[in-house]
């Protein structure tokens, strides 16, 4: 079995995706890997395994790699004597942020008929946008923190008591996120967030809130990870989250009561449902007064959250063998032919 890792993308999280992809070399022991890099101009390159080092990309050396084109059924290397298809069985979408998590890659893979591991289009759209995530959770009777949505062009008036946390609506890895404790620092925090998005979510900042992460997928059964309790100070900022993107060893499970663990797992299953089939996701939860609240959905978590699973590689193999495919539609032009026949008779 050969798995192609797709990484990079036109995204603020481009470099994080590179780190995640490099980590995969340590994670997979039996699955043969190939690497497809997407640069900032959305050009595809086939990267040899020995070139999977950070400097190959930061110095622009990747441009010496073979450029790829997309055609029906896969990626191709075009040469003087024709095109040669790149051999792999399934593609793993490891592009964090825009391109990878917003549905673009899912749409392209579906359009060209390439088997892939990643949230499908609808799942991507709902989990990439923090507002839509809240609407989805509420529809599923999963609690979320109260919030205010603010657009760049609206009056900068916060209706939630301080302290608050400000997050760009369409971004991950805590980029552009600020904790604001008074109105004096509000405008600066909004300026930072609006550098990355036209809309922000403003939520109450609950100091010391308990947070737990649950990852998993559905193959022919539920494949759930251990529950992680992130170690954080004020909030889990970019520097701390960066560690998640290069983890390759199993993390110890959080110590919590069995009843709370069950609540977290059942909440995860409800969110994953049928919507996220074909992908491994991670849900980040808050626990307040014994109640579980969804904080956010990570549709393509750092290093695919491999560090939360006992046997991550075996789960990936099972997931690949249970991927669904888009139904093929046969076009026979029967309707047009019937119209033409009717016109001929007239």
* Dist. CA 81–CA 96, nearest whole Å: 36
Q: How many CA atoms lie within 13 A of 241 on its CB side?
A: 18
Show the domains of the chain with their CATH numbers.
Answer: 2-117 (3.40.50.20), 125-143+208-321 (3.30.470.20), 148-204 (3.30.1490.20)
What is the reported pLDDT for 342? Answer: 79
* DSSP assigned state of 305: G
What are the C-alpha distances in Å from 104 to residues 9, 16, 279, 313? Answer: 10, 18, 15, 26
* Dist. CA 185–CA 238, nearest whole Å: 20
Neighbours of 107 (CB within 10 A): 13
What is the reported pLDDT for 345? Answer: 59
What is the reported pLDDT for 327? Answer: 85
Q: For residue 237, list its beta bridge partners.
A: none
What is the reported pLDDT for 206? Answer: 92
DSSP H or E stretch at residue 19: helix 14-27
28 near 253, Cβ under 8 Å?
no
What is the reported pLDDT for 234? Answer: 56
SS3 230: coil
210 near 286, Cβ under 8 Å?
yes
- With a cut of 70, list the residues of the chain below it in pLDDT: 173, 232-250, 344-346
pTM of the model: 0.89
Q: What pLDDT, in 10s, does the model give residues 70-125?
A: 999 999 999 888 899 999 999 999 999 999 999 999 999 999 999 999 999 999 99
What is the reported pLDDT for 198? Answer: 94
Taking phi over 0 as left and psi of -120 to 50 as alpha, with beta for the rest, 173 belongs to left
247 near 306, Cβ under 8 Å?
yes
* Dist. CA 203–CA 165, nearest whole Å: 5
* Dist. CA 290–CA 302, nearest whole Å: 28
What is the reported pLDDT for 249? Answer: 62
């Amino acid at each position: 079995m050969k798995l192609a890792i797709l990484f990079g993308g036109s995204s603020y999280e481009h470099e994080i995706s590179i780190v995640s992809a490099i980590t995969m070399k340590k994670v997979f022991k039996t699955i043969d890997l190939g690497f497809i890099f997407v640069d900032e101009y959305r050009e595809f390159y086939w990267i040899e395994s020995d070139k999977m080092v950070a400097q190959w990309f930061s110095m622009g050396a990747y441009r010496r790699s073979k450029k790829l084109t997309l055609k029906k059924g896969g990626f191709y290397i075009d040469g003087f004597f024709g095109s040669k298809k790149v051999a792999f069985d399934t593609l793993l979408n490891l592009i964090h942020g825009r391109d990878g998590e917003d549905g673009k890659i899912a749409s392209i893979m579906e359009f060209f008929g390439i088997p892939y591991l990643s949230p499908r289009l609808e799942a991507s759209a709902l989990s990439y946008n923090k507002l839509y995530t809240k609407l989805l959770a509420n529809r599923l009777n999963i609690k979320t923190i109260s919030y205010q949505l603010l657009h760049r062009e609206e009056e900068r008036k916060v209706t939630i008591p301080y302290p608050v946390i400000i997050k760009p609506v369409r971004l991950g890895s805590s980029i552009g996120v600020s904790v604001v404790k008074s109105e004096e620092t509000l405008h600066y925090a909004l300026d930072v967030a609006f550098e990355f998005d036209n809309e922000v979510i403003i939520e109450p900042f609950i100091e010391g809130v308990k947070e737990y992460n649950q990852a998993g997928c559905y193959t022919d059964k539920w494949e759930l990870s251990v529950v992680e309790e992130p170690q954080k100070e004020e909030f889990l900022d970019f520097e701390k989250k960066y560690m998640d993107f290069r983890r390759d060893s199993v993390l110890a499970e959080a110590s919590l009561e069995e009843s709370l663990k069950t609540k977290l797992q059942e909440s995860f299953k409800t969110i994953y449902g049928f919507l996220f089939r074909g992908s491994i996701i991670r849900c980040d939860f808050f626990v307040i007064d014994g109640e579980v609240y969804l904080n956010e959905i990570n549709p393509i978590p750092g290093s695919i959250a491999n560090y939360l699973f006992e046997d991550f590689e075996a789960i990936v193999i099972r997931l690949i063998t249970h991927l669904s495919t888009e139904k093929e539609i046969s076009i026979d032009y029967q309707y047009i032919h019937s119209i033409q026949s009717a016109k001929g008779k007239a």
